[in-house]
Structure 1
Amino acid sequence: MTRSQLITLAAFGSAALLLGAFAFQHLGGLAPCAMCIWQRYPHAVAVICAGLALLLGGRIFLMLGGLAVVATGGIGVYHTGVERGWWEGPSTCTSGPVGDLSTDELMDQIMAAPLVRCDEVPWELLSLSMASWNTLLSLGLLALWLLALRAPAR
């Protein structure tokens, strides 16, 4: 495959993941949590980097595109760990302990809680959440960016 084909494939991969996320949200009715939103931004950056690499050339855009998919994959790993209870997530989108809270403090925590929590899995396929799938697919996209870096420019 040529460099431009690899870049185009990587761009379509990130665009497809973004479109899938929007489809789950707007067509499937699954509201995204904060970390789900965080995972979208690097895919958008990767698509922009691909466009710039195709238009302007230069290895810098290939490296930035690869870094973008590493970033979204990293957020996906973190999000998966929060979903699986391996570590705590940000207090803004996970449930907190209620053991020693007064009634007023508990009510304040309930009222401040987001509608969509980051520590719950709303959808799975083959026992993997959307965050887990994003991580795996982003690794595949990273491979495309790395291959594009190695491919001769034409």
Structure 2
Amino acid sequence: MISSQRRQTASSFVLLVVGGAAIAGAWSFQLIGGYVPCALCLSQRIPYYVGLPIAAVALLASLMRLPRGVSRLLLLVAAAIFAYGFVLAVYQAGAEWKFWEGPTDCGGGTAAVTSAGALLSQLQTTRVVSCTEAAFRLLGLSFAGWNAVASAFLVAVGLYGAGRGN
């Protein structure tokens, strides 16, 4: 059976790698793919910005062999933060599938327009993403749907790492 410390170390590492890949993917679709995130999309990034540093501290605490309760607590906090992200992602995915109403004030933003040429350029290159319409689907899931999958996985990993053991 794997020791608590090894489980905490491995779980913290997996949180960092998978969570880092998820947020890097979101940034890639924005910066390379040209998708402008809506307000709800941006809100779904916050758990990564908060949860990943906490996972990094949990990893350091485990590697430094601090009391197991320190890593355990940090992993529980990270799991709770990613659970919040899961709720946001499910909310948006459900709104995209028309299971419930989405936010009425949600849409993509663009940079300030300074000239007619800049406006034409933005109209040609910017893809505005609505909170209630999936801009892209892969295997039937939208960005929000895939974020729900990633967030659920991160919650499970955090809880596994925080679990009691020998």
TM-score between both structures, scaled by the size of structure 1: 0.80
Divergent runs of 4+, >6 A = none
**Partner residue of 1:105?**
none
| 1:35 partner SS | helix
**Partner residue of 1:122?**
135
Instruction: After TM superposition, give the deviation of residue 54 of structure 1 in Å.
Output: 2.1
Task: Please list every run of 5 or more consecutive structure 1 residues that lacks an aligned counterpart in the other structure.
Answer: 95-114
**Structure 1 vs Structure 2 CA RMSD:** 1.7
Q: Which amino acid aligns with 1:26?
A: L
**Partners of 1:50 and 1:61 within 8 A in 2:** yes
% identity of equivalent residues: 33
1:55 corresponds, among 60, 63, 70, to: 60
Distance of 1:31 and 1:40 partners within structure 2: 13
Q: Which amino acid aligns with 2:104?
A: S
**Partner residue of 2:42?**
37
**Partner residue of 1:21?**
26
**Partner residue of 1:136?**
149
Task: Please list every run of 5 or more consecutive structure 2 residues that lacks an aligned counterpart in the other structure.
Answer: 108-127
Q: Which amino acid aligns with 1:19?
A: A
**Partner residue of 2:158?**
145
Instruction: After TM superposition, give the deviation of residue 46 of structure 1 in Å.
Output: 1.3
**Partner residue of 2:115?**
none
Distance of 1:88 and 1:26 partners within structure 2: 29
1:90 corresponds, among 74, 97, 103, to: 103
**Partners of 2:12 and 2:158 within 8 A in 1:** yes
Q: Which amino acid aligns with 2:19?
A: S
**Partner residue of 1:5?**
10
**Partners of 1:36 and 1:131 within 8 A in 2:** yes
Distance of 1:47 and 1:25 partners within structure 2: 20
TM-score between both structures, scaled by the size of structure 2: 0.74
Instruction: After TM superposition, give the deviation of residue 31 of structure 1 in Å.
Output: 0.9
